[in-house]
């Protein structure tokens, strides 16, 4: 009897988990209110051909709720993310855009998350230093408005709908240091010299043996 109750409880819990996941999977990007958040991202260095350095350069991010937002009463949290532009998604399925939000991989880099205060009506700004682990690529910034049950209900982004304007490029940290490169070169030179000396000594020994 106890085993049957345990099995029933397990099945009930699994069913609840699946239902919860099912609800999450039904969340679609196209269902979100578009343009509810007005957001801009200004790099610390601008100009044609400028590439920002991960771990060094910054973004000045400004956002506010649009006057046309109809879902503002549902806003509880604002989540700001760094997203890949289409040019940096080509041949990279791990960065692919999906309409189903739980599958979407286009905005994996968290910038900030904070509670929404409906009494603040003016634009708010903050600076964000590009994380050291940001991959090389072209990016834009997107902000999601999230409700009390952590569901996205609206969004805004720093680029147009086609994701072709106001983009910026980032160069990742290579992971190598100049001192390591110098040490590597010195070791290579030492290895070559040691090899030459070895062969010269071996040749000289061979000649001495022959002369005897």
- 63 closest CA partner among 113, 134, 8: 113
Q: State the fold for domain 29-171.
A: Immunoglobulin-like (2.60.40)
By CB atoms closer than 10 A (0-12, 13-18, 19+), residue 205 is exposed
Query: Look-up: residue for tokens 């920002």?
Result: 52
pLDDT tens-digit map of 123-162: 999 999 999 999 999 999 999 999 999 999 999 999 999 9
Given a contact cutoff of 8 angstroms between Cβ atoms, the answer to whether 80 and 141 are in contact is yes
94, 77, 144, 75 alpha-carbon torsion, rounded to 10°: 140
**H-run or E-run covering 205:** helix 178-211
Beta-carbon contacts of residue 90 (< 8 Å; ≥ 6 apart): none
pLDDT given for residue 121 in this prediction: 86
pLDDT given for residue 40 in this prediction: 97
- 146 closest CA partner among 32, 11, 7: 32
pLDDT given for residue 47 in this prediction: 86
Instruction: Write the Ramachandran bin of 49: left for phi over 0, alpha for psi from -120 to 50, otherwise beta.
Output: left
Model confidence band, residue 177 (pLDDT cutoffs 50, 70, 90): very low
Beta-carbon contacts of residue 98 (< 8 Å; ≥ 6 apart): 29, 104, 105, 106
Q: Where are the beta strands (DSSP E) in the chain?
A: 33-34, 37-43, 51-53, 58-65, 77-84, 109-115, 124-129, 137-146, 152-157, 168-171
| DSSP label of 134 | P
**Domains of the chain: which residue ranges?**
29-171
pLDDT tens-digit map of 1-36: 455 444 444 444 444 444 444 444 578 999 999 999
């Amino acid at each position: 009897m106890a085993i049957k109750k345990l099995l029933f409880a397990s099945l009930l819990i699994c069913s609840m988990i699946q239902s919860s996941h099912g609800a999450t999977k039904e969340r679609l990007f196209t269902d979100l209110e578009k343009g509810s958040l007005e957001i801009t991202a200004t790099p610390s260095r601008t100009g044609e051909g400028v590439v920002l350095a991960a771990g060094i350069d910054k973004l000045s991010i400004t956002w506010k709720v649009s006057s046309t937002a109809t879902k503002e009463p549902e806003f509880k949290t604002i989540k700001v993310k760094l997203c890949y532009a289409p040019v940096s998604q080509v041949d990279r399925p791990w960065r692919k855009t999906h309409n189903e939000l739980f599958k979407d991989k286009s905005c994996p880099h968290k910038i900030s998350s904070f509670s929404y205060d409906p009494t603040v009506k003016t634009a708010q700004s903050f600076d964000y230093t590009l994380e050291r682990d940001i991959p090389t690529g072209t990016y834009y910034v997107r902000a999601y408005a999230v409700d009390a049950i952590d569901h996205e209900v609206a969004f805004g982004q720093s680029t147009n709908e086609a994701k072709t304007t106001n983009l910026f490029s980032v160069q990742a940290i290579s992971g190598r240091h100049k001192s390591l490169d110098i040490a590597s070169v010195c070791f290579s030179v030492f290895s070559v010299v040691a090899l030459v000396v070895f062969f010269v000594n071996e040749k000289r020994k061979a000649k001495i043996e022959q002369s005897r």
